[in-house]
Amino acid sequence: MDIQKTGSIDLSQKNVLISGASKGIGKAIATAFAKEGAAVYLCARNEIVLYNTVAELQTQYPAATIKAKPFDIAEKANVLAFGEWAQMEAAKYGTGEIDILVNNAGIFKPGSIYNEADGLLENLIATNLYSAYHLTRFIVPKMIDAKQGHIFNICSVASLGAYANGGSYSISKYALLGFSKNLREELKPHSIKVTAISPGAVLSDSWGDFDNSEQRIMEASDIADMIVASAKLSPQAVVEDMLIRPMLGDLP
């Protein structure tokens, strides 16, 4: 029996929406998709850092479409404004449909549940969970109409198990993983992929001036490369969950 092969997905000219994309993992993801020829639409809170990132990427990939606008998507109104802006921008260069959504925006603040600052849970839930929830709900109807799309949610090893000083951060990431699993089941009939990415320690601003000369923790590009590889899989294949840890394991 002959088996028809559809092949991998070509990412060139795809519209990719990435939240929290001015630095760290988000910037690495934007870089990886721009390298593939995709059009990328970015947001972050810090306007200066965000536009510096755009300038850097545009220099690296002059033929790429790279657009950005600052939003603090801890606020629902800003989430919706970001989604609307991105769709309008995408319409200038094609269909206006967002093909790939990467819910990367998030913050980490250490603490223990019993003594962390009042309001920390609400702050982390708003940024790490609600932003993904509201942005997905805004973007996904057009994906359903198109019967295609891929949503990546950047979770964490903190989504998978408790650890000391994790507190509300871990709670928010547990919730994001639960959101991802429910979303995956709901969108199966519409041919929309959902992938939950759970990275361990990645060299980013959260680690301050950590000395990684011995390559103890991962590079942000490691996560970005795996996301792009997953996005390229044939339409009938999906990576549901991805756990990526430093080769020597998590730091104590």
- Residue 33 and residue 229 in contact, taking contact as beta carbons nearer than 8 Å: no
Strand order in the sheet with 192-199: 66-68, 39-42, 15-18, 100-103, 149-154, 192-199, 241-244
Catalytic residue among 61, 133, 169, 174: 169
> CA separation (Å) from 30 to 35, 110, 174?
9, 27, 25
Tell me, yes or no, if 41 is annotated catalytic. no
* Residue 241: both structure tokens together: 């969950």
Phi, psi of 208 (to 5 degrees): 60, -125
User: Letter for the amino acid at 168?
Assistant: S
C-alpha–C-alpha distance, residues 15 and 98, integer Å:
5
Q: How far is CA 118 from the centre of its chain?
A: 28
Largest distance between two CA atoms of the chain: 64
Residues that are catalytic: 169
